[in-house]
Amino acid sequence: MTDLLSRHDVLLADLDGTLYRGRGAVPGAVEAVGDAKKRGVRTVYVTNNASRRPSDVAAHLAELGFPASDGDVVTSSQAAAAMLAQQLPAGARVLVVGTDALAAEVTRVGLSVTERADDAVAVVQGHSPDTGWRLLAEASVALRAGAVWVACNLDSTLPTERGLLPGNGAMVSVLRVATGRGPQVAGKPAPELLHRAVERTGAQAALMVGDRLDSDVEGGRAAGLPTLLVMTGVSDAAELLAAPGPLRPDYVGADMGALTRAPEELAPGARPGWDVTVNGQGELTLTAAGGTDPLDALRTLCAAHWAAGGGTVRVTADGGDAARALQALGLDAPDVASDTVGGADMTARAPGEARADTGIDNAGARR
């Protein structure tokens, strides 16, 4: 079968929003990863979340039904520790702003952990729900004294079953403001994490799969990898349409089931059954010409808009079928109740803001 999966030997899969949301697996994700394994394609789980040990991540994945062992998990805490080890002598003391799991990775590479700014030659920062003012203040003192600073990731939000909560990037911003400095970054969108995953597996044709444009897609592209955006997590149709060049994926799918579709069906581009008219800079009209799949409409919109220069965009619908597609994608204007649905202003939604479920599957059917 000539599908997307057949082009790759390793899947580098994001976790939160891609494979699971909170405590539950994303529908179809377990089956997709299991089928990939049966076809000889290994999945390596790459996560920006540095709060858990790789063994804990693997156990959670296995509990949900994913084929996962400790060696299949690559975390930003591992990448951050490796970055520190490349810059510091053995035994150097590191102030850890994060969990015990992050501290364990620091000691595993031959460095030591301290709680005192006066002793620290470096600060490493990862997500922890228990990070408080006193620890941030200690890190601030160390950074002002010139300590090396490595952040596991800059994700501003963390997807949970309760919605988006503050992520490590939000806490990094506290130290940015307090010190006037910026950190080195180990996790996505920096390429270090994905480079480590590729090296570990010896992959010749890896595919990065994720739900966020500003970490998964940007990180995959920075690492020189093709990328698949799945619409099950943070980034939505509006954010995708307005995405700048470095954040544009090679493929767009509803979920992990997209791996069994032909690559040309998933790539942004003109799709049968949909027409897009560019009315001017940032003004598009969508017309249905027999199309039924809202994601095909989105792929067509992206291609037309990006070719016209990209940026902020407003989309209107010509006819009821096009209006329904825009509604499924969340691109409709809630105050317009007619066949012409306008006012889908891409700047109205903050970057990374939670998306609504489009209610569509990879075949374009309503769920």
Contact 97, 136 (CB under 8 A): yes
Round to whole Å and give the CA distance between 288 and 265: 17
Examine the residue annotation and report whether 16 is marked as an active-site residue of this protein: yes
Distance between CA atoms of residues 361 and 257, nearest Å = 9
Tokens of 112: 């030591």
CA-CA distance, 177 to 316, in Å (whole number)? 41
Apex 24 CA angle, 332 and 358, nearest 5: 10
Nearby residues of 143 by Cβ (< 8 Å), 6 or more positions away: 123, 149, 175, 179, 181
| Calpha distance 94→245 (Å, rounded) | 37
Dist CA 357 CA 65 (whole Å): 23
The span from the CA of 241 to the CA of 266, in Å, is 15
Task: List Cα–Cα distances, 113 to 48, 97, 120, in angstroms.
Answer: 21, 11, 8
Find all residues with CB under 8 Å of 149, minimum gap 6, and list them: 122, 123, 124, 125, 143, 175, 181, 182, 183, 184
Looking at residue 152, what DSSP letter applies? S
Is 250 considered catalytic here?
no
Strand partners, 208: 12, 227
Which residue in 3, 9, 14, 118 is the catalytic one? 14
SS3 157: strand
> Of the residues 3, 9, 16, 321, which is catalytic?
16
Catalytic residues: 14, 16
